[in-house]
Amino acid sequence: MQRSASAFTRRVGAAILGFAPWLMKTLSVVGTAAMFMVGGGILLHGWPSAAHAVEHFADGFGGVGGALINIGAGAGVGIVAGAIVLAAVMSVQKLRGAS
């Protein structure tokens, strides 16, 4: 686009190039957060008593509030599970002498 004869097309191309790094950084952060929420939700649903307790607690907050409670619980479980896996991986690397 930047090689185009049209000044407008060149400006659009420059804008896309300027916007792309910001977009990619944003997508990486949002994608990581989504992975924690989804993974935590999967783990939470695999633990029926905890899932039932969260759902029962969230029911007291109504529609949007309850949904946010469920999402937050999934994210929390995902973060804790991620921290446990990270600690395990780092421990194994330390035992193997890897940096």
Give the pLDDT confidence of 7-59 residue by residue, as tens digits: 999 899 899 999 999 999 999 999 999 999 999 999 999 999 999 999 999 99
Say what the pLDDT of residue 82 is: 94
- At residue 74, does pLDDT exceed 90? yes
Q: How far apart are CA 1 and CA 5, in angstroms?
A: 9
Ramachandran class of 47: left when φ > 0, alpha when ψ lies in -120 to 50, beta otherwise: beta
Give the up-direction half-sphere exposure of residue 81: CA atoms within 13 A in the CB hemisphere: 16
Following DSSP, what letter does each residue of 8-47 receive, concatenated? HHHHHHHHHHHHHHHHHHHHHHHHHHHHHHHHHHHHHHTS
Query: Angle, to 10 degrees, between the axis of helix 62-96 and the axis of helix 48-59?
Result: 150
Say what the pLDDT of residue 99 is: 59
Q: How far apart are CA 55 and CA 32, in angstroms?
A: 24
